[in-house]
Amino acid sequence: MKKITIKDIALEAKVSISTVSFVLNDKGEKMNISKAVIKKVQEVAEKLHYRPNMIASSLRTGKTRSIGLIVEDISNQFFSDLARVIEDEAKKLGYRVFYCSTGNDDDRSDELIQSLLQANVDGFIITPTEKLEKSIDHLIKLKKPVVLIDRYFPGQNVSHVVMDNYEGSYSATQFLIKKGRRSIAFVNNTSGMIQMQLREKGYVDAMKEAGLYQESLILHLEYHSNEDAKIAAIVHFFEKNTGIDAVLFSANYMGLAGLQAFRKMDLEIPKDLSVISFDDHYSFRLHTPSISVIEQPIDAIAVKAVGLLMDQMIDGRDFVIEKVLQKGKLLIRESV
């Protein structure tokens, strides 16, 4: 089966290849090509089952109609949900999405950016890792459209869309306090990224306002440790700090490790301990009791991020840097 090119169409329709190209790119009217010719070309293209060669057109135009999506871990449900919505949104606009996971590894993130640059993606949506600020500066210098999601660098002037982490954490903590909980722990990781800092700050402020704050109630888990190590650390922490009656996890994978720790310790939820975690997860719904979460507005984040990226990708438009905060949602289930 021979590849059909615009040359074949031109031959068959007895017009020049430029005419074919104009018609197939819907520029026929603009170029004052006659209705009859337009119709003819379209029919021939249809008849021969013409499929444009995207590689050739990319080489010529320098555009690939693709965007690179770099997330932390595509096998984490939060990110795979995000990716799916972003992909759908992009497809509506005729863009293809290449996605890859950093595993929060800075070197790998940098490599991925290089490789996507080399694949000539037209724009980037990134959940940056800690040391990625330079690489992102680099993209900006290259005038590549970039939107960050889930987190960002406070000093850097780049569009980003994130949840209102401070508010989410603050309200969840207040909710626990109103429920009569007094000794509320906060389990975070050691990454120090802005979204984790804000989640911690929301908790700290709510605790301080209620006069309940104690530094010893905060546990920081090594980010790069495996799940068993996290479970062990949580067990150790709760054995040392008896009397804790509630806990807020700053991400779903910590919450999941926590549930396993509590099972080992035979702690009963919510009698002994109220539990709330950031980010929803299938296992939180299935768990007995089901676990309350601060659900991220995934759809809103994805749609907005694609929108901001498109704004930057439209040639010549003077785009504005936008920094968007989306509200999360406290989903109360049986665990509080």
Partner DNA sequence: CTGAAAGCGCTTACAG
Taking the C-alpha atoms of residue 34 and residue 331, their distance in angstroms, rounded to an integer, is 60
> Min. distance of Cβ 3 from its own copies in angstroms?
9
Name the one range near DNA by CB under 7 A: 47-55, 162-170, 223-231, 238-246. 47-55
As a dihedral over the C-alpha atoms of residue 313, residue 156, residue 253, residue 97, rounded to 10 degrees, the angle is 10
User: Side-chain half-sphere of 119: how many Cα atoms within 13 Å?
Assistant: 18
Q: Is 157 in the site for its own copies (CB under 8 A)?
A: no
One residue of 7, 51, 134, 327 binding its own copies per CB under 8 A: 51
Contact 122, 65 (CB under 8 A): yes
Nearer to DNA, 54 or 325 (CB): 54
> Rounded to an integer, what distance in angstroms lies between the CA atom of residue 34 and that of residue 200?
65
| 333 near its own copies, judged by CB under 8 A | no
Binds 19, which of DNA, its own copies, none (CB < 5 to 8 A, cut-off by type)?
Answer: DNA
Binding flags for its own copies, 234-273, as an x/- string (CB under 8 A): ----------------------x--xx--x----------
- In angstroms, the first-to-last Cα distance of the chain is 64
Tell me which of 178, 211, 282, 320 binds its own copies, using CB under 8 A: 282
230-269 mask for DNA (x: CB under 7 A)? ----------------------------------------
Residues numbered 27 to 46 that lie near DNA (CB under 7 A) are 27, 31-34, 37
* Distance of closest approach, residue 9 Cβ to DNA, in angstroms: 8
> Interface with DNA includes 60 (CB under 7 A)?
yes
Gap between the Cα atoms of 216 and 219, Å rounded: 8
CA distance linking residue 232 with residue 237, whole number of Å: 9
Contact between residue 152 and residue 130 where contact means Cβ atoms under 8 Å apart: no
Min CB(318)–its own copies separation in Å? 21
Cα separation, 115 vs 119, whole angstroms = 6
Q: Which of 1, 11, 12, 16 is in the footprint of DNA by CB under 7 A?
A: 16
In angstroms, the CA 307 to CA 90 distance is: 9
Rounded to whole angstroms, the Cα distance separating 167 from 297 reads 13
Instruction: Give the interface with its own copies as residue ranges (CB under 8 A).
Output: 1, 51-56, 58-59, 64, 74-75, 77, 80-81, 84, 96, 98, 114-115, 117-120, 141-142, 256, 259-260, 263, 282-283, 286-288
